[in-house]
Amino acid sequence: MPPPPFTDRTDAGQFLARKLESFKDRPDLLVLALPRGGVPVAFEVATAIHAPLDVFVVRKLGVPNHEELAFGAIASGGVTVLNNEIIEAVGISEKQINATVAREQIELARRERAYRGDIPSPSRSGASVILIDDGIATGSTMLAAVRALRKENVAEITVAVPVAAAAVCNQLLPEIDSIVCAATPEPFQAVGIWYEDFSQTTDEEVRQLIKRAARQRVSSGA
């Protein structure tokens, strides 16, 4: 196996930012990060292209006793995306689905309160959004975010990630306006193997990055 292409999420964000230089200084632009791992990546992008940064909370729905495998996701705005192929393949019951959704809705609400603090959320209506995560494996989390954003009347959605499975990038295209998958190694296997440091991003790190981004916008007069 080749060595991981990214040292950490900061390195990945700087790499991705170079792929998004054409978006620099657009007045209608908003960078949205999927927390938690997408936030350090998106911070580097937002800083480089001079765009405001916010979080867009999405929670993976993990298969009971195998939570690393997602059978769907939920997002801000009440959107639920289910992967029926996985549900049928592993035999997840409706009761299990409902229990998982209810549990993750509680965590989604907690994170929405925790991440921003007293920083107001930028308006998303009419914005051209770049939606960022640290990678895409199954695509269910990103798809939930995209469908939730469509309900908020955004003008344009670009999905941008440092690393992803090529087939999943292609599957997302009909739902979005454009996609930037900076690296699409094969076989893909999992997002984490393409980072030397893939340690978990904490809630506090997310809060601090959102604050830093807001301060940078104020100091630049944006």
Label residue 2 by pLDDT band (50, 70, 90): low
In a domain, 202, yes or no: yes
Give dist(CA 195, CA 162) in Å, integer. Answer: 10
In a domain, 4, yes or no: no
In a domain, 220, yes or no: no
* φ/ψ (deg, to 5) at 72: 165, -165
Q: What is the pLDDT of residues 136-180, one digit of tens each?
A: 998 888 988 998 888 888 999 999 999 999 999 999 999 999 999
Confidence check: pLDDT of 1 > 60 = no
Number of domains making up the chain: 1
In a domain, 222, yes or no: no
In a domain, 2, yes or no: no
The token pair that represents 9 in the structure block: 């999420």
Domain membership of residue 138 as a residue range = 9-215
Q: What is the pLDDT of residues 21-66, one digit of tens each?
A: 999 999 999 999 999 999 999 999 999 999 999 999 988 899 998 8
Q: CATH code at 81?
A: 3.40.50.2020
In a domain, 1, yes or no: no
The token pair that represents 99 in the structure block: 């229990």
* φ/ψ (deg, to 5) at 85: -65, -45
